[in-house]
Chain A
Amino acid sequence: MSPALNPGAAPLSRRAVGDAVDRVRGTFTFAVDRRIEGTLHAVAVRSVAPHGRITSIDAADALAVPGVVAVIDGSHVAADDGISPWYGENRADQPVLAIGKVRYVGEPVALVIADSRATAEAAAAQVWVDIEELPHVVDPVLAGAPDAPQLHDEWPNNDSGTWTLVHGDAERAMATAAHVHTATYTSPAQNHVPMEPHSATGAWLPDGSLEVWTGTQSPYVVRQRLATMFRLDPDRVRVRGDSLGGAFGSKIDLRLEGLVALASRAVGAPVRMELRRDEVFQSASKHAATVTMTTGVDEDGLLVARIIDIVWNSGAYALQTPRSSRTGMIRSPGPYRIPHVLARSVARYTNTVPTGPFRGAMTGQVCWAHESAADEIAAELGVDPVEWRRRNLLRDGDAFATGDVMHEMHYVDLLTAVDDALTADAPPTSSTRTRTRRRGRGVAAVLKTTRTPTRSEAQVQVDAEGQVAVRTSAVEMGQGAAASLAEMAARRLDMPAEDVSVSWPDTGWTPFDQTTSSSRTTFATGLAVERAASDLRACIAQQVAQPWGITPDQVVHRDGCVSSPGDPAQRMTYADVVRSSGAGELVGTGRYETPPGAGRLDPETSQGNVSVHFHQGVVGVEVEVDTETGRVHVLRAHGATYAGRLIDAERARKQIEGGMLFGLGQAVMEETLYEAGQMINPNLSDYQIPSLLDVPLTSSTVLSDADPDAEPHGIGESTVPPMAPAVANAVHDAVGVRIRDLPVTAEKVLRALREKQADDRKN
């Protein structure tokens, strides 16, 4: 074991309260604060061309800078038999460093390794990269044209995933519909903007194994990718993580870990990397998407058929796109009862930043379409949009577009809660509604599947001091996973949650967990933790039952103690039980796995059981539109979700309300912009995220199931996607213009208002 990567007595578990003190004191160690003695620092030299062939890389000037240790590029990687440089979840299309070709501006071309980050940055500017430029394409629709520039020889037509969903006979049913509506909705590339940039430190140990400290959401995925890349048994790769300063999907799968491992391999010392903000923008993106939706309804406004065509922009490399584009397609019909659905989805490579999951992954883009369409259809039918939804929303026993028979459906109640909140606390309008400022209200609903199939493992242990520790590989990134998991274990053990510590992920020490994403942690990891805690509880009962002459199920657990119901003298703390067992510690293990077959879908029709349960969210907003400037101000927002079994009401509220503000950014301000194949706003001056001045009055409703054995549902994403369509629907309600291209900026609203005025004058 390398002493370099085991800094002193680094704590391996933590408690929520102690963490909070450290957080307000500034002494809490986030991934980006992890410092390991003796590390060198790497900085990437990045492509300035969107598409081209690398003709030469001259590192002589950089190597001459004092303090520079090495410069490596794709040619070194390609020549190394110990490295399999191409990676990706579904297809290995992305090189750890560009090999022969660059496919987007910002792609890592070389790594400069030096004794300080400042030296490495200065030297990186002196690595001379010659690129013979090729024609580039940034628009995924154009990327599908026969004469479009081709990014990957192995993947023709820039195809990074093609899928269909066939439920009933949508084309035939559409012909019988009383009313048909069709429109196209577009949403742009956006950045996650975790306030903490990405960082990682990697080191090869003397025994030839690899150890990486990293700010990741998916330690076990990183372990697998590194094992494949460096041709190691996964047990020879140890991935260790800290708490993250936000992630939102940007820290899933391989990020910097391959680069630091590569750099460490080259120089024989631990190497650290940390991204600057522009590099964060150049490392991961939300998928831009174009969704065309045709909907047929009958005379009563009930949905008859829906035909959906989606084009996703996967960026230069696919990562998860071949799988996730299908997931997005499956969610695209929305939370409605539609007898006939046909969806066609294609993802295309373009010369833009590679994409990945983004809070509420692949859902915002399709929710934007089906919820805008919902209001448009209701308006054409002359029906109130809340009422139209109420008639069509999924209820228990209805079939979803995958054929799943739905259960635990709460949409109508969620919608009612939101509608009531919007109506009940309406602020006075007569005094503030001026000639130039108009108010309007809008709602939107979303359906999201959760990760299926999935697997989580956990251990809960108690030692001779009575210290209870939960071991999982779940990642704390602000969602409160550590506190929730501690609470779930504590309840099973009948002891205070404050006395339970929760591990950091460390694949050398903490059991398997698929990933911390898709709102799956409280559900999947949580159930594994509960089972581990129950197992430990049974183990403790087993220890005392025989000596006390009772059966294990007669043992009473309370406040971290066991006692015998008939004999008050028979009472022991958990610590006493461990001591008397002579075992040193008692360990419970637990595992959650989705049922066999869950998540398996027909390859042609996408019919099957798509998800063990469904995330349900409804959002309502009131906006004020300034008709002179087009500016949209969201005055208030109410979010509602269904939590299944609720673990903590306060943390749930924070997820819902924080999620709405996150969604507000996507609704009215956020978009990464490209000119000549180059992202032109990769900084927080030009790419604005919501600040305190953008905050609406916010409230929330959490519906839950009081049954202590009910499944908890994830709630961290379900109010994010509906924000954008709720805002656009409210803008339409306020001023009568329909924006179908996100974000709903002042410029677009103003232009639409002027067009409307011109049209009104003509009529």
Chain B
Amino acid sequence: MSDTSERITLSVNGISQEVTTAPSRSLLEVLREDLALTGAKEGCGVGVCGACSVLVDGKLMSSCIVPVGMVQGRAVTTVEGLAAEDGTLTPVQTAFMECGGFQCGICTPGQVVAATALLRECPDPAAEEVREWMTGNLCRCTGYYSIVAAVLQAAKAGQGESD
């Protein structure tokens, strides 16, 4: 690599991590190859398919186009960091299971992270808002119907919790 390595510290799923690497490498590659967090996937490599979705300081991002140098000192949440430590699933994860919101499941981590970000921003979205928001997450198997159903069900479940 032509870039010289730098020491980069970041928080991943609440754990402080230090990696020594070229700052231009993608966050996705560092997560998958250096930190063994393979939940986020590389689908397109150009930030259009959503398979690599993560939260950076709570904000939805495509980790395949985020240079790891840009997340120095910031908090990254990957799909692996969503469920509780005891394994309890989030309402979004539960809804994806119950609605069968996947077939092969390769895009599911990205869908789950994107849906989580949506519901944090907009806890009770209309179906149209779900479609609009989730359109950045491509799926080649399902036809998307069950994904929309899962997000709407998760929203309902989340409402139930806060009531």
Contacts and interface: CB of A to CB of B under 8 A. Distances in A.
Given A26-B109, A685-B46, A478 B141 contact: yes
Contact of B80 (A21, A27, A479): A27
A435 interface: no
Interface in B22-45: 22, 25, 29, 33, 36-45
A21 B148 CA distance: 19
B74 interface: no
Contact of B46 (A21, A196, A479, A684): A684
A654 B44 contact: no
A8 B54 CA distance: 29
B102 A23 contact: yes
A658 B142 contact: yes
A26 B145 contact: no
B43 A25 contact: no
A303 to B, nearest CB: 33
A280 to B, nearest CB: 10
Contact of A478 (B51, B97, B105, B134): B105
B100 A654 contact: yes
Contacts of A650: 100
A689 B143 contact: no
Contacts, number: 157
A683 B79 contact: no
Interface residues of B, number: 57
Interface in A728-746: none
Nearest to B51: A195
Nearest to B109: A26
Contact of A692 (B80, B93, B148): B148
Interface in B132-159: 132, 134-148
Given A21-B89, A660-B143, A661-B143, A26 B48 contact: no
Interface string B66-95: 000000000000111011000001000110
Nearest to A24: B93
A689 B46 contact: no
A227 to B, nearest CB: 29
Interface stretch (A28-36, A131-139, A229-237, A545-553): A28-36
| Residue among B51, B102, B134, B145 facing the most chain A CB atoms (10 A cut-off) | B145
A684 B42 CA distance: 12
A695 B42 CA distance: 24
A184 interface: no
A477 B48 CA distance: 23
Contact of B105 (A23, A659, A661, A693): A23
A388 B83 CA distance: 56
Nearest to A243: B104
Contact of A24 (B78, B89, B103): B89
Contact of B131 (A30, A477, A693): A693
A277 B44 contact: yes
Contacts of A685: 44, 46, 48
Contacts of B142: 654, 658, 661
A691 B144 CA distance: 8
Given A122-B1, A684-B49, A689 B138 contact: yes
- Top 9 A-B pairs, shortest CB-CB distance: A26-B39, A245-B106, A478-B104, A26-B79, A23-B105, A478-B103, A661-B143, A26-B109, A684-B44
19 contacts: A19-B105, A21-B89, A24-B102, A25-B83, A25-B89, A25-B93, A27-B39, A117-B33, A193-B140, A194-B106, A194-B140, A243-B104, A477-B104, A654-B103, A654-B142, A661-B143, A683-B44, A684-B44, A692-B131
